[in-house]
Amino acid sequence: MSGGLGMVLDVVSAALLLSGSALTLIAAVGLFRMPDAYARIHVATKPATLGIACTLSGAALQLSGVSDVTKLVLALSFQLLTVPASSHLLARAGRLRGLAPAEPDAVDAFDAGREGTGGDE
């Protein structure tokens, strides 16, 4: 019976590793295809984070030691905690430096807040 469980874990692990690799490849291609820095930040964070999560989960299924799995869980936790904050700070720094989006929105709340309207309404 344990042989069947091992086969299932191998298949699930392979699927997670392949899907994680595909998502990371899509993110890498997207970095070259996107028109502006904001779209590139989005493409570098969303699919790459999910790709890393899938890859680390697939690798964790192949490990038997608790210590090794704990290291992968910690790596994934740090990834999930730091990537959204860093991408937000990168986009905010670009906006503060005057980096405009390729296709501006109809309403730019960032500029409205800087014009002295008194802040949030």
Domain ranges of the chain: 2-100
Q: What is the pLDDT of residue 3?
A: 73
Q: What is the pLDDT of residue 104?
A: 73
According to DSSP, residue 4 is labeled H
**Torsion angle defined by CA atoms of residues 48, 51, 52 and 58, in that order, rounded to the nearest 10 degrees:** 180
Longest Cα–Cα distance in the chain: 70
Q: What is the pLDDT of residue 115?
A: 54
- Each residue's pLDDT, cut to its tens digit, for the chain (121 residues) gives 467 888 999 999 999 999 999 999 999 998 899 888 888 998 888 888 899 999 999 999 999 889 999 999 999 999 999 998 999 999 889 888 888 877 776 666 666 555 544 444 4
Report whether 55 contacts 24 (CB < 8 A): yes
